[in-house]
Structure 1
Amino acid sequence: SPDREPFQLPRGKLVGGSSSVNGQVFFRGIPDDYDQWDQNGNRGWSYLDVLPYFRKSENDLTFGSDDFHGNSGPIPVRRYEQDELLPAPKAFLEACMAEGFQYSEDHNHPESTGVGPRPFNNVNGVRMSVALTYLSMARHRLNLTIRGDVFVQKIVIEEGKATGVEAESDGETFTIEASEIILCGGAINSPQLLMLSGIGPRRHLEELGIPVWNDLPGVGQNLRDHPSAFLLYDSYLEEPPVDSPALQVGMRYTTPGSDFMNDMQMTPILMTSEHRPANVELEEGRHYIGFSVALQKALGSGEIRLNSADPSDHPVLDYRYLTHPEDMRRMREAVKQCISITTREEFDGILKKRLQPVDEEILSDELLDQWLLSVVGTQHHSSGTCKMGPADDPLSVVGGTGKVKGVSALRVVDASIMPDVVRANTNATVIMMAEKISDEIDVW
């Protein structure tokens, strides 16, 4: 959008990746997400196929072990009880139910829809990242070395086989050799690294002077995300303690007229922590409440391109948010729904005034669309840029076990291989995918 300034896209460049910086919402997609993957040629990725790996990864402190939850996995998952809810999240839950939405005690149940407590991988104020859970259990292994401050610049390919990576650390460039390379750079860095290594769209690579090892046109394409807009309110409430949770409850629901179940998320956020949009300026010492509306099943998609052949240059990200008219319509309806919910009596004494969008920006659909184009941003769930798919899919990059087409001894295992982003926060699904593909690897 020409009306939208470029925005920041933080990611986790540390041990644990983005699980060490995300919102800690341990939220699964709905069964149809994974069933669609399977039906589109990714056999073995249906909901029933992946459910055991969801259960394997978690220790659900609320529901324990049942048909849909596990209690012996490394990642503890909890939900806030009703008596733990702060005034604004409690009012949101009650207002949504008064508006006609059903209560959902478990957003990870396969039939879940409606409003309820979010599942979190944060227990007693401690972020249960994969660094603290999975890696802590494995650090003692003699066949595992964890190194930080290492910048991988390219994959070494010899005669169609990945044999190692070129990396830099403390000013020294060196090669690390391995019998198999597993790339887990995420939906932005994984396609970037493949293209820097000569794996990607031939024309784009040749324009930058990069020798082409494998012409894979799908690398960097199919950039998926959850387009998000943010409604901001001034509040009557006093500022809570700095350790108060920013998120407690949320709603997943189907936009009226949509063909896709649970295609929208709505979440109240306390604006007193680091969880705030970069374009929102908040006065110090005041209490604000925000409401995120995020489209979970966008029809539009974008692409990632290299800026240059220099690994230190950030790639060009073009999300093309709300370019599909149905995406715009559903986001418009979600903003209207959020305004309707926040004007209910349950928010009396809590919400003082809506600061964005202002009344003049919602007088017509055209004006509301203009506002959306000026503020739409990321929900930090980039996916799909090294798409998993069958061999006859021209845009697929990897097969069902993460192996890169046309190059041996090379896999990608991260959010980039999702054929489409799931209708939920992505961390739980990425961990599930890693668990599942690790079962396919013969030797560790």
Structure 2
Amino acid sequence: MKSRGHSVFKRVKKNASNKESKIMDTFDYVIIGAGSAGCVLASRLGEDPAAKVCVLEAGPRDWHPYIHLPAGFIKTFHMRSVNWAYQQEPGPWTGGRSIYAPRGKTLGGSSSINGHIYNRGQRQDFDTWAQIGNRGWSYSDVLPYFKRLETRVGPGDDTYRGREGNLTVTTMDWKDPLCEAFMAGAISLGIPRNPDYNGAIQEGVSYAQRTIKNGLRVSAATAFLHPAIKRGNIDVRTHAHVTGIVFEGKRAVGVRYRRGGKNGTLHEVRAAREIILAGGTYNSPQLLQLSGVGSPELLQSHGIEVRHALPGVGEGLQDHYAPRSVARVKNIKTINERRRGLSLVGEALKWAATRRGLLSLSPTMVYCFWHSGETTESSDLQLTFTPASYKEGVQGTLEDLPGMTVTSWQQRPESRGYVRIRSADPFVQPIIQTNYLTADLDRRIVVAGMKLARRLLESDPLRPYYDYEDFPGPDVQTDEEFLQAATKRGTTTFHPGCTCRMGPADASWAVVDDSLRVHGLEGLRVVDASIMPRMISANLNASTQMIADKASDMIRGKAPLEAVRLAG
């Protein structure tokens, strides 16, 4: 992709001592990160033909075929060329394990390597954001932005669903006997079939909704960024690793980055209007800290000058923690066998000819939302089903034996961790401590989820295919044994958020206000999943794009879309 930016001015500085050149351009807006949020922002801000937008992305263009092939997530999961490949710190409830935490490092960010799932969350999630002091973020306020983003293909009440947006949302149309039996099993346990979990009610079981169109991934880059580039006023710079934000007093005025790795050429761009940090839950707090914004004690311990004391930066990390319950399968083939040898060749030919079949699928086929207990007012458990299983302790590597998996997690965890710089070197990965299951409630609900997963796998409709439980295994019966199993093999669901939380200025944990401006600074906003004040009951990609869409109106000074008035 050829860069098409328009700069107001450019100059080159020579420094004989370090042989670096600094090339400076000025734009109206500089967006740091071309992920899910950055792509939406670039598209919306670039709608003004007079606005000049620069987008800086640390990774490459999204050219690799595995990005666009839906089943390619198996490969991009570990591809360092398009993946930050982070490692979390061992936590008190992860059995001493360091959990792998992939994040997208290419145009489209994690929307270019994720499992394609489209899941917004529940009404209560966003109403809670508003109740803690964030004006304009209730469900009625954000629903119009969800609708503006999407083209929903298939059933759905247009009160809740959009039909004219850039992001195509389809429902999986591969009718698998194991998936059908799983859903029948859920119904036998009193869990209703729900044709649209992104509609009025989330509860129930159904095939997954995903961002796949005509057998190809629909990433934030393909939906928003690439069409916007054609306008000619957006300059996208790949392989641009941002090393710091430049301040004049309390105003952010520029961004420094290197191209060509740690020893590459140093560049600087300036923003006449705003700098928008859209690096994601791990990278955004890291860059703020590297730039002197954060906890004074942390910054000083790494020899970084304190530009602005803001102790909430990097604190409050939340993620969904999930054990995966596995059963061996008989009397039918699973994806484990179908992805090998001649079967895989046949599937490849089928995809090439029809864009259908195994290679067009998401890693998760069925979604189920239910309660951990009879007194729970709204669903607090999310379970997914796939007619496949993965090697122990390894995600992204299928087993050889036939298997099926139910993954269960608590939708609104209370446990919180942090993201903190490990070094003043911007090329060193930050410390990521999620603190899974440190809250007692989280431990109780993860056990309830595993028990429900067992009941689902043992349900009568699945019995013709159910051989035996492989994990956690029939010997696991007590709550303590279930918890030990969760500690042994639970892992991330790739939904990190809440490290630059949105909240009132008098909240010690808040980093941005409800317009996403960094408290106490000018010309700087954070726009990504890190601004979530608390975890939502969903995968995060849909809401991250909603956040960016809503922020674009704020940045442009436009009136917000009219809130949707809902009964109840």
Whether these two folds match at TM > 0.5 is yes
TM-score, length basis structure 1: 0.94
Kindly indicate whether residue 367 of structure 2 is the aligned counterpart of residue 247 of structure 1. no
Residue of structure 2 in register with 1:129 after alignment: 219
Of residues 291-300 and 381-390 in structure 1, the stretch that sits farther from structure 2 once superposed is 291-300
The answer to whether 1:11 aligns with 2:103 is yes
Distance 1:136 1:280 in 2: 28
Distance in 1 (CA, whole Å) between partners of 2:487 and 2:204 is 27
| Corresponding residue number in structure 2 for 1:114 | 204
Q: 2:121, 2:202 within 8 Å by CA — same for their partners in 1?
A: no
**Counterpart in 2 of 1:222?**
316
Contact 2:368 2:384 in 1 (8 A): yes
CA shift, 1:49, in A, is 0.5
Query: Structure 2 CA distance, aligned partners of 1:65 and 1:230?
Result: 33
Residue in 2 aligned with 1:86? 176
Aligned counterpart, 2:67: none
Q: Could you tell me which of 325, 329, 340 is aligned with 2:444? A: 329
Letter in 1 for 2:434: Y
2:125 to 22, 33, 39: 33
For 1:366 and 1:128, how far apart are their aligned partners in 2? Answer: 42
Residue 178 (str. 1) matches residue 265 (str. 2): no
CA-based RMSD: 2.0
1:327 Cα deviation from its structure 2 partner:
0.8
Contact 2:155 2:195 in 1 (8 A): no
Residue identity (%): 34
What is the CA–CA distance in structure 2 between the aligned matches of 1:102 and 1:318, rounded to whole Å?
A: 37
Matches within 5 A, 1:270-309: 270-271=387-388, 278=394, 282-284=398-400, 286-309=401-424
1:8–1:278 contact (8 Å) kept in structure 2:
no
The equivalent of 1:407 in structure 2 is 521
Mapped to 2, the partners of 1:8 and 1:33 lie a distance apart of: 27
Q: Deviations over 1:159-192 (max 9, x none)?
A: 1111111101021111111121101100000001
What letter is aligned with 2:459? R
* 2:506 is the alignment partner of 1:392: yes
Partner residue, 1:209: 303
1:144 and 2:242 are equivalent in the alignment: no
Q: 1:139 to 1:280 in 2, by over 3 A?
A: closer
In structure 1, how many angstroms separate the alpha carbons of the residues matched to 2:465 and 2:301? 56
Following superposition, the deviation at residue 218 of structure 1 comes to 0.5
How big is each residue's C-alpha offset from its partner over 1:254-300, in whole Å with a ceiling of 9 and x where there is no partner?
21056562211110123379x9962686544x432111101111111
What secondary structure is seen at the aligned counterpart in 2 of 1:386?
Answer: coil
1:95 to partner: Cα distance? 0.2
Moved more, 102-111 or 30-39: 102-111
Cα 1:442–1:294 change in 2 (3 A) is: same
Deviates more, 1:157-166 or 1:191-200: 157-166
What's the offset of the Cα at 1:136? Answer: 2.1
1:427 Cα offset (Å): 0.7
> What is the aligned length?
439
Distance of aligned partners of 1:133 and 1:297 in 2 relative to their CA distance in 1, 3 Å threshold:
same
Q: CA deviation at 1:200?
A: 0.6
Higher Cα Rg, which structure:
2
- Cα 1:398–1:280 shift into 2, 3 Å: closer
Distance 1:340 1:393 in 2: 43
Alpha carbons 2:215, 2:360 under 8 Å: kept:
no
How far 1:376 moved relative to its partner? 2.1
Of 183, 193, 196, the match for 1:103: 193
Matches within 5 A, 1:231-380: 231-236=325-330, 237-238=332-333, 239-240=337-338, 241=347, 242-243=358-359, 245=361, 246-256=363-373, 259=376, 261-271=378-388, 278=394, 282-284=398-400, 286-360=401-475, 362-380=476-494
2:224 is matched by which residue type in structure 1?
Answer: Y
In the alignment, does 2:194 pair up with 1:194?
A: no
Distance 1:111 1:395 in 2: 31
- Aligned equivalents of 1:282, 1:248: Cα separation in 2: 15
Distance 1:262 1:64, change over 3 A: closer
Mapped to 1, the partners of 2:219 and 2:394 lie a distance apart of 24
SS in 1 for 2:235: coil
Q: Is the 8 A contact 1:4 1:373 kept in 2?
A: no
Give the Cα separation in 1 of the matches to 2:474 and 2:292.
51
Structure 1 residue 122, shift from structure 2 partner? 0.8
Q: Which of 536, 540, 556 is the matching residue for 1:426?
A: 540
Q: Are 1:229 and 1:375, in contact at CA under 8 Å, matched by a contact in 2? A: yes
Amino acid at match of 1:403: R
375-384 or 245-254: bigger deviation: 245-254
Structure 2: unaligned runs, 5 residues or longer:
1-91, 339-346, 348-357, 559-568
- Per the alignment, in what secondary structure is the counterpart of residue 406 of structure 2? strand
Report how far residue 124 of structure 1 moved: 2.4
Do the aligned partners of residues 438 and 279 (structure 1) sit closer, same or farther apart at CA in structure 2, a change above 3 Å counting?
A: closer
Q: What is the alpha-carbon distance in structure 2 between the residues aligned to residue 267 and residue 417 of structure 1?
A: 26
